[in-house]
Amino acid sequence: MEFWGELCALLTATSWSLSSYIFTAVALRVGTIQLIISRLIISAVFLAITLLAFRINLSAQPVQIFYLALSGFIGLVIGDTFLFKSFETIGPRLSLLIMSINPGIAAVLAYLVIGETLGWFAILGMVVTLSGIFLVILERKPGTENTKFKITKKGVIYALIGAAGQGVGVIFAKMAYIAGDINGLYATFIRVVTATIILIPLFIILKKYKNPLKVYREDIKSLGMVLIGSVIGPYVGITLSFFAIIYAKIGIATTLMSTIPIIMLPLSIAIHKEKLSWKSVAGAFITVIGVAILFIK
């Protein structure tokens, strides 16, 4: 069963990589806010169907719901909003490379907030991960950047805020698990629904959210892309990651799921015709090695 867990982990990384490119294309067509809310609604529907179909235990303590609601707000509302803004600015490959510091942020916060041990391997892993990211970000060799996406301070800051938001979101999710047993898919459903409930009225008030019926009636292609991306990424990705953690060792599963920066390399060449330098390739591999070191016990 361990092999199937590891396979699920690799498929998780692949599904998130593919969906990232789909979501980037949609964000450029209909806008980040429209995409995020549509993605959350579709994900919530599919998760609800799964929970009911498999008769998953839907019990949770009030304190767990509170922590998961905070996790959904910080991780999915703040984290994902800035992540998708970075997709539009610097592209999905570099955005997700920067997002690789998410486990490091979560490790530091876990040490400060809930007293988890932060060993030398964890510190070394964070240093190696940051080294790989900086190798790519600081590159300025002409001709290596795609004409559509360029490395900008704004885009990098967006990605860093996204990573921080998701890192903090993970801590609150972990606090929910510490408070008592809860099914992973149900916990994800609570996070997704909470984020949806917060986002829709917020952006309606701010006049950032348009009538989805009108938006997608005028752009059927974007609707199809949102549906495909939501199934491939948030739904299939979350489900596969759940089985990966169950059947494989957590350290191995997490490392395999963190290979997204490497998987993104051939996708970037095939989809956006990016010309990748040796620094971009080396930086991606170094980053993944750093994430792997983080989980060495």
Give the highest mean pLDDT range of 7-16, 58-67, 265-274: 58-67
Decide if 240 contacts 8 (C-beta within 8 A).
yes
Q: Which of 68, 74, 95, 82 is nearest to 36 (CA)?
A: 82
Percent of the chain with pLDDT over 90: 31
pLDDT at 250: 65
pLDDT at 219: 92
Instruction: Give dist(CA 177, CA 182) in Å, integer.
Output: 7
Instruction: Give dist(CA 201, CA 205) in Å, integer.
Output: 6
Work out the pLDDT band at 297, boundaries 50, 70, 90.
Answer: low
Kindly tell me if the per-residue pLDDT of 146 is higher than 60: no
Decide if 168 contacts 104 (C-beta within 8 A).
no
- Mean per-residue pLDDT, 184-204: 90
- Mean per-residue pLDDT, 247-268: 79
Work out the pLDDT band at 142, boundaries 50, 70, 90.
Answer: very low
Q: Which two tokens stand for residue 66?
A: 């509170």
pLDDT in tens, 175-190: 898 898 888 889 989 9
Q: What integer best gives the mean pLDDT of the chain?
A: 85
Placement of tokens 């949609």 in the chain: 26
Weakest mean pLDDT among 105-109, 112-116, 127-131, 146-150:
146-150
Backbone angles phi, psi at 88, to 5 degrees: -65, -30
- Mean per-residue pLDDT, 83-102: 89
Q: Which two tokens stand for residue 69?
A: 């609601």
pLDDT at 251: 63
- Mean per-residue pLDDT, 246-267: 79
pLDDT at 106: 78
More confident residue, 121 or 139: 121
- Mean per-residue pLDDT, 236-262: 77
Decide if 185 contacts 50 (C-beta within 8 A).
yes
Residue ranges with strand state E in 89-164 = none
pTM, entire model: 0.83
Kindly tell me if the per-residue pLDDT of 272 is higher than 50: yes
Who's near 228: CB < 8 A, 6+ residues apart?
22
DSSP 8-state symbol, 190: H
pLDDT in tens, 224-246: 999 999 988 878 887 788 778 67
Instruction: Give dist(CA 290, CA 283) in Å, integer.
Output: 10
- Mean per-residue pLDDT, 164-173: 88
Residue 262 C-beta-side C-alpha neighbours within 13 Å: 15
Work out the pLDDT band at 292, boundaries 50, 70, 90.
Answer: confident
pLDDT at 140: 54
pLDDT at 78: 92
Percent of the chain with pLDDT over 70: 94
